[in-house]
Structure 1
C-alpha cells in the first residue's frame, strides 16, 4: 500500500467514525414540516414512471445501435469528444457530488462548488438530488439486508435468485412504488435552499444536459447533421453508458469482486469498472469506511474522483476532507482476515 499524501492522512478529520456519516444520522433529524425537495413530492406518479421508462429505454436503444453505426460509418472526433466530456462531467457530478459529498459528507465545500456539484450530478440524468441521496443513505443503513432498496441478494443466494436479484439491483428497483422518505433520510439537504432549488430543477438540468452536445455539434459543423450526430453520441449514448455503469455499482459490485476489508455486506472491488465509474468500483473500502473521500486506497487503484477532490482542496474550494487513515485501513483489513481465518 502506498503512503503518498494522496492516499493517507493522519489528520483528525480522517479518523471520523462511521457514526458521523450523514447516512447514519439523517434519520434522527427528520422534520416533517420541511418543504418538498423533489418535483412531485415523495411519491412517484405514473407520469414519472413513464418518463423513467423513456429515459432508460431510449438511450439504451441508442447504445445498442451505436455499435453497428460506429462500425459502418464511424464516429467523428467531435462526437467522441463531446461524449467523453459530458460523460465525465456527469459521472464526477454523481461520484464527487451526489455520493461522496452530499450523501456521506466526505468533505466540506464552499457554496459555489456545492452548487456546481449539485448541477453536474443532476446532468447525469439519474434523478433529483434529494431523492438520489435519500435512496443511497437508506441503502447504506440496510446494505444487503432487509430494507436495502437495491440489493442483488434480495431473493436469495441460489443462482436463479441471484440472476433475478441482479436485475432488481441494476434497474428493476427504480420502478418500485415504495419510495424512500426524503424528509427522513435527507433532511439536511431539504433545509438547504440552494440544494432544494437544484433538486426541484431536475427537469431543467436534464434538458440542458441533453441539448448541450447538439448545440455545440451544430455550431461547430454549422449543420443539422452535426447537431444530430452530436445528440446521438453526446446525449443518448452517453446517458445510457453512464446509467449502466452507475447501476453496475449497485448490482455487480455487490455480487462479485475482491473483499480485502471488513464490511457488514457483500460489497466488492471490481477493477475493470474503476475508470468508467471514476473510482466508485473500489466498493469494498467504501462500505468498510463510508465517509472516506478516497475509495481506491491501494497502490495502482485509479480513483479520479479522489484526485479531483484533492485539487479542490488545494484550490481552497473544499476543506475538512476525510482522507483515509493508515491505521483505520489496516484495522479493516485485519478484521477481514480474522473473519476469513
Structure 2
C-alpha cells in the first residue's frame, strides 16, 4: 500500500514551539480522574468487571483496529457502513473524534520521523511529565505543519458529527449503565474507563519510544521505537511499536514469531467474513531502503 501522507512540514520546525495548557483537554481528563477516584470508593466486583470488558473492547476494536490501523494508516479497508461502526467505537474510547485522533497521531509521527523534534513528541522527559503534557497540554508550534485530512473523512457528515460531539456520546452510555447498575457502573464504565484508556495509551507510547528491544531502525528518523516483549495481549498488539514504525502499511503489527497481536486476529476474522479487504502486509525486501535490519548487522559483526 502507498504511504499515507497528510502532513506538509516543509516550512515547519518540529523542535521549536511551546507546551501550553489545553483547557478543554485538561478539564475533561481531570474530570475523568476525579470520577475514577469516586469509582474506587464505590467499587463492586460487577462494576470492575464491566470496566475491564468495556475498556479492552473499545480500545481493541475501536482504537487499535478501527482508528489506528484502518482510519489512520489505511492498512485495510471495510465497507463504508462497517468502517463507521469501527470509528464510532473508537470515538467512545473518549480521547477525541476522528479528525482529532488523526491530528494527534500524524503530527506526532511527522515530528518523530524528522531528524530532531521537541521533547513533547520525543517522550524524553519523565513518565509523569509526559503523562501530564499529553493529558492536559498541546504543543504550539512557532511554524506549524499543514495537516490535510482526506475528504472521505473530513467531508463526511457522520465523522464531522463525531468530531463536534465526541464527548457527549459518553452520556448515552452513562444513561444505560446507570439503569443497569447505578453509579458504580457509571463511574467505572465511563470515568475510570476513559481515564485509564487515555493514560494507558500514553504510558505504552512513552515506553515504546524509550528504546529497548527492536529489530528495525528507520534511517532518517530522529526518534526510534521499541518493542515491549510480553505485552501483546494487554496492548492489543500495539506494543510491537518497532515493527509498526518500520511497516506502518501493515495491518499486522506483531509480525515475528511469538508476538501476540489481538488486533491482527480481529482483522483476519473480518477478512474471512468479507468485512476487511486490501489488507496490508509488511512491504517486501526490495522496498525497504529506508530501513536498517539491526539483526543482520549483529550477525555480520559476530
TM-score, with normalisation over the residues of structure 1?
0.70
1:300-339 map, 5 Å = 300-324=258-282, 335-338=293-296
Q: Which runs of 5+ in 2 are unaligned?
A: 9-19
Deviation at 1:288, TM superposition (A): 0.9
Q: How many positions carry a matched residue from both structures?
A: 280
The answer to whether structure 1 residue 140 and structure 2 residue 114 are counterparts is: no
Asked if structure 1 preserves the Cα contact closer than 8 Å seen for 2:54 and 2:193, the reply is yes
Deviation at 1:171, TM superposition (A): 4.4
Structure 1 partner of 2:121: 150
Residue 219 of structure 1, aligned match among 161, 164, 179: 179
Deviation at 1:306, TM superposition (A): 0.9
Asked if structure 1 preserves the Cα contact closer than 8 Å seen for 2:38 and 2:187, the reply is no
- Taking structure 1 as reference, are residues 218 and 138 closer, same or farther at Cα in structure 2, changes over 3 Å only? closer
- C-alpha distance in 2 between matches for 1:144 and 1:216: 43
The answer to whether structure 1 residue 248 and structure 2 residue 203 are counterparts is: yes
Asked if structure 1 preserves the Cα contact closer than 8 Å seen for 2:98 and 2:162, the reply is no
SS across alignment from 2:244: helix
TM-score, with normalisation over the residues of structure 2?
0.78
Asked if structure 2 preserves the Cα contact closer than 8 Å seen for 1:170 and 1:250, the reply is no
Moved segments of 4+, more than 6 Å: 179-183, 328-334
Structure 2 partner of 1:170: 131
Deviation at 1:277, TM superposition (A): 2.4
CA-to-aligned-CA distance 1:116-144 (integer Å, 9 cap, x gap): 12211111111121121123122222316
Asked if structure 1 preserves the Cα contact closer than 8 Å seen for 2:123 and 2:209, the reply is yes
- C-alpha distance in 2 between matches for 1:88 and 1:277: 9
Asked if structure 1 preserves the Cα contact closer than 8 Å seen for 2:211 and 2:226, the reply is yes
- Taking structure 1 as reference, are residues 333 and 206 closer, same or farther at Cα in structure 2, changes over 3 Å only? same
- C-alpha distance in 1 between matches for 2:57 and 2:66: 11
Q: Which runs of 5+ in 1 are unaligned?
A: 1-15, 29-45, 154-161, 221-225
Structure 1 partner of 2:28: 55
Structure 1 partner of 2:99: 130
SS across alignment from 2:293: helix
Asked if structure 2 preserves the Cα contact closer than 8 Å seen for 1:137 and 1:185, the reply is no
The answer to whether structure 1 residue 229 and structure 2 residue 184 are counterparts is: yes
The answer to which structure has the higher helix fraction is 1
Residue 201 of structure 1, aligned match among 150, 159, 162: 162
Structure 2 partner of 1:7: none
Structure 1 partner of 2:149: 186
Deviation at 1:300, TM superposition (A): 2.6
- Taking structure 1 as reference, are residues 209 and 304 closer, same or farther at Cα in structure 2, changes over 3 Å only? farther
